[in-house]
Structure 1
């Protein structure tokens, strides 16, 4: 596929130029032989014929390459190409006639000059016709080039007077004609074979080129080539993205002109990095640009390093994500409002109920009907409930300043088990321990870790009102983690309830606030740990804590 802007001439491969040069030279040679047979000039087949044929083919090839290179101005390319081609025609004509043993040679200089001018005029006119948009341009150019060459040969024969040393006999002429016919047949077969294979290759190339054009030019994403920090190519989507009317407004210009100033260093570093496999090549980067009209756009870009025209280039794909980012921000804001509404409703519910109870008790006390202090414990309980809710909310709402210390998980879990032991015994829940014998050291805040473990242990005990087994397991997860498992054989939970665990004020218990598990998640996350929950309806619930392990402390640390 042509990534660059096409020059004024049509790009043609070297193989096509070679095939065209061979066909043109063969036609010239055939015409030259026919003219020699119709004249008094001597015709002979010898080794100089091959050299003459090769030189003519090379000059014609050079003329075609200059014409199609696109590196020169149009008129200059046409003049140089015409001079090279007429030089090849003259080489075939004059060298063939003058390559034999000659006694006397006379030149008519004016006629020689006229023959050159006629040949040049025909070749130049052919190259000019090649740039015409008409469909008949190829046939017209071929006819004009052939007519110019024929005129040059004919006039050139009148410009020469040659007396040869040897006389061509009829038998020798017949032998030469047979050999000439054989050589012509071989050359024609070779040229037909070469032309056919070239045609097949060009047909395949054209199909591939059209396929890539369909993919690239019809892509909704921007596909571009960057060379040395400048745009080398942009597909139509890229022109629309940057609001450019013509590719000249972008191609050849520095990419940093449209890149946001704060992204220049990031972009330079990204382009200078060497891709390490396909994963790096496809890793996206978000960049902010501005269009040619000054409108800001947010994009996601990936790149693949490639080689084009012998140079290292960056092939990039740019996708406009401005609308997606706006939708994401709207979604985040909506989620924040939804969570804020749920939180406000939950706080109002959890605090309003005990406040209503306190208000009723205070009204009773104000009437003087109650003389003793029988309701004071209930009032203290409601106040403690409010205080607990506020404390948990404060822990969730602001970051905690953690003073991390080395702690032995075996000791922490033993203390937590003792804390819930009385409640477990009252509900006929048996607690079973499975601890690795080696100490399990972690870095954290002991009070918070104990709070997290006690929360889940209490939930497990309350999930077994008719008794059951609570399993507390501690083992080494891998070389750098400890695994704590808390499992019960209670009623379990369905998947829809399991998906809601950890949401504010969502609880499966009648008197639960739903903040306990949320606080547990927060604590474990602050300690760089993870929580996984599995539950089977009717088969119990299992919580697995993964915490980073540290080495055993020295005596001085302990």
Structure 2
């Protein structure tokens, strides 16, 4: 048995240690660490296994030179290189199969596979030249295996926990463990008969061995440079993504199965936790509002069920979910769920935006709109009731002055009071469908009543109402009070826009089975843009108008299967044309020529 260690061994052992350290560092870099999943995962693992096997093979031969062993270079010495590479690939794949940091048992199993492959490398290289002439001391072999197992498990554990920061130390641990196993295996190898090649071939063997070692070292250093460049590149990419994710104003999280896998700082603040460990590894349902559990499960169940079988759905439309923070506060959120994979497992990337303030603002806005609509409705009600009240006031003043005692005025006043009563009744029944009493009526009668009603108001503005009622009745089927309301709104608008006086022309005629009522004023006219908005709720061209009068008029005419057309020329005037379906009726019309005021054509 060779001495355990002498001064002559140091140079070779130091070289072997350096080679193994570089190969270990390269292996850890190319494998991407215990917790990292790189693109082209199999390629990187295969490269890492190849570098490790080259380093172990080179370390073995340099160590053999330290103990004056002469080994023939042939198939039996090259084959262990590939066997060690295969064992290393299997060990790394087993170690990195899970996305979580590997357990101690998994680390120990991977280290055992590597230890077995190194012992097999030692055995096969001895068999290449000393077949049948050596035996092992089990104590040394066991000590070497234990030293490698301890160093390797420690290296894997540190690298899994701290990543790249402790990679140099992890590499030194792996190299120390591998060299200890090799030295102890050599020290425990008892050769009963040394074999050596002939002298004339010794120089060739040494030269070939040197070339192979040089080539192995070059490959190891080349892979080390590639791994360093790749690791730096991926490190920069990871840092960039980390900065984006960690500085996002929205919570970004990863769900694996039904548990939290990751949560960024914004998410920690949103859920009122001090550290991500308070959420990571826990069920998402601990923080999700109970009323939304089934909604989330409906999304996650298909993701887990179809993994690897169907095409991913990708990003889902935003959904609103409520969560409960660690302090019990309820938050309203908008959530975007995106299906993906990580380390071969299905995951769901979640972007959570707190919309609690937006919800409050929306509620305030809705309440504000309700108040605004209520105010507009009140203004419209006042507008509709003020019209008949103004007429009643005018007639009372005329009667009080003794200038007119026409009995026809009493009928009109009674009609206006009935219209006020109808408006109030409609308000009381606003939330219920209302049944109107429809009947046949002559449009000429309704227009005559309206013209007489507004005659006094027109006179105050110096306006004369000229009407052509036609000779034949224009029967329609509808609600008398509603049609009169339309006429009143149109005529009042015409009167109000003619501040300098003038004439309002009213013409009634039958055309294509329709009763056509046109009202033409001599006002300033309306441009095309305003015409396109005519009849819209709350749109008006008057300073103190509400826009409800015309809106109601359009609605009434539409309910009677009619339509309103408006034409206008700036500086000339505007014409409102109301078309209602005509009906045949044999009853005599109650229309009679006006006694005074509005002229009949």
* TM-score category of the 2 structures, normalised to the smaller one: 0.5 to 0.7
Alignment of 1:340-419 (within 5 A): 340-348=374-382, 350-352=384-386, 354-355=388-389, 358=392, 370=402, 373-374=405-406, 377-378=408-409, 380-381=411-412, 384-385=415-416, 387-388=418-419, 391=422, 398=430, 401=433
Partner of 2:206: 177
Aligned counterparts, 1:40-439, within 5 A: 40-64=68-92, 75-100=104-129, 102=131, 104-120=133-149, 122-123=151-152, 126-127=155-156, 137-162=166-191, 167-226=196-255, 229-264=258-293, 266-267=295-296, 282-348=316-382, 350-352=384-386, 354-355=388-389, 358=392, 370=402, 373-374=405-406, 377-378=408-409, 380-381=411-412, 384-385=415-416, 387-388=418-419, 391=422, 398=430, 401=433
Cα distance, 1:253 vs. partner? 4.5
SS of 2:133 mapped into structure 1: strand
Alignment match, 2:56: 28
Contact 1:86/1:120 (CA < 8 Å) preserved in 2? yes
Change (3 A) 1:428 1:79: same
CA deviation profile, 1:522-544 (whole Å, cap 9, x unmatched): 5699999999999996799999x
Given that residues 338 and 349 in structure 2 are in contact (C-alpha distance below 8 angstroms), is that contact kept between their aligned partners in structure 1?
yes
- CA-based RMSD of the aligned residues comes to 5.8
Displacement of 1:327 after TM fit?
Answer: 1.6
* Inter-partner Cα distance in structure 1 for 2:511 and 2:350: 52
Contact 1:16–1:198 under 8 Å retained in 2: no
Write out per-residue CA displacement over residues 419-449 of structure 1, whole angstroms, 9 at most, x where no aligned residue: 99999x96799xxxxxxxxxxxxxxx9848x
Q: CA deviation at 1:145?
A: 3.9
TM-superposed deviation, 1:168: 0.5
Q: Deviations over 1:503-557 (max 9, x none)?
A: 45x65579988434322565699999999999996799999xxxxxxxxxxxxxx
* Cα distance in 2 for residues equivalent to 1:234 and 1:372: 87
The 3-state SS of whatever aligns with 1:42 is coil
**Partner SS, residue 219 of structure 1:** coil
SS of aligned partner of 2:73: coil
Determine the C-alpha separation between the residues in 2 that align with 1:403 and 1:282: 48
Contact 1:67–1:78 (CA under 8 A) maintained in structure 2: yes
Residues 152 and 330 of structure 1: CA distance in aligned 2, closer, same or farther (over 3 Å): closer
CA distance in 1, matches of 2:313, 2:158: 52
Distance apart, 1:41 and its partner CA: 2.6
- Does the CA-based 8 Å contact 1:42-1:97 persist in structure 2? no
Q: Quick one: distance in 2 between partners of 1:531 and 1:262?
A: 51
Report the CA distance shift for 1:264/1:245 in structure 2 as closer, same or farther (over 3 A): same
For 1:215 and 1:90, the matched residues in 2 are separated by: 47
* Superposition deviation, residue 104 in structure 1: 3.0
Q: Is 1:515 aligned to residue 548 of structure 2?
A: yes
Q: Do the aligned residues in 2 keep the contact of 1:243 with 1:292 (CA within 8 Å)?
A: yes
Q: Which whole-Å CA distance do the structure 2 matches of 1:91 and 1:530 have between them?
A: 99
Residue aligned with 1:318, SS: strand
Give me the whole-angstrom Cα distance separating, in 2, the residues matched to 1:353 and 1:453. Answer: 12
Q: CA deviation at 1:269?
A: 5.1
* Contact in 2 for aligned 1:507/1:514 (Cα 8 Å): yes
The answer on whether the counterparts of 1:108 and 1:159 sit within 8 Å (CA) in structure 2 is: yes
Aligned residue in 2 for 1:551: none
Structure-2 change in CA distance of 1:104 and 1:447 (3 Å): same
Q: Are the structure 2 counterparts of residues 525 and 147 from structure 1 closer, same or farther at C-alpha, using a change threshold of 3 Å?
A: farther
* Residues 367-395 of structure 1: per-residue CA shift (max 9 Å, x gap): 7x749723x54565456456546656766
Q: Which moved more, 1:534-543 or 1:320-329?
A: 534-543
Structure with max Cα Rg: 2
Q: CA deviation at 1:220?
A: 2.1
Determine helix, strand or coil for the equivalent of 1:373. coil
The answer to whether the 8 Å contact 1:102/1:165 transfers is: no
Q: TM-score, normalised by structure 2?
A: 0.62
> Structure 2: how far apart are the matches of 1:532 and 1:273?
57
Is residue 41–residue 97 contact of structure 1 (8 Å, CA) maintained in 2? no
1:440-494 per-residue CA deviation (whole Å, 9 max, x = no partner) reads xxxxx9848x979995999599699788999x999xxxxxxxxxxx9x9993337
Q: Does structure 1 retain, via aligned residues, the 8 Å contact 2:34–2:163? A: no
How far apart are the structure 2 equivalents of 1:518 and 1:353? 16
Partner in structure 2 of residue 492 of structure 1: 526
Write out per-residue CA displacement over residues 135-183 of structure 1, whole angstroms, 9 at most, x where no aligned residue.
9844444444434444443443343333568640233233233333443
Q: Which residue of 1 aligns with 2:462?
A: none
Cα 1:467–1:204 change in 2 (3 A) is farther
Where do 5+ consecutive residues of structure 2 fail to align? 1-32, 437-441, 452-464, 470-475, 513-517, 577-601
CA distance in 1, matches of 2:504, 2:557: 30
Whole-angstrom CA distance in 1 between matches of 2:76 and 2:356: 72
User: For residue 593 of structure 2, what is the aligned residue in structure 1?
Assistant: none
- CA 1:530 to 1:295, structure 2 compared with 1: closer, same or farther past 3 Å? farther
Aligned residue for 2:579? none
Counterpart for residue 407 of structure 1: none
Question: Do the aligned partners of residues 525 and 23 (structure 1) sit closer, same or farther apart at CA in structure 2, a change above 3 Å counting?
Answer: farther
Deviations 1:87-110 (A, max 9, x none): 333222232112335353344444
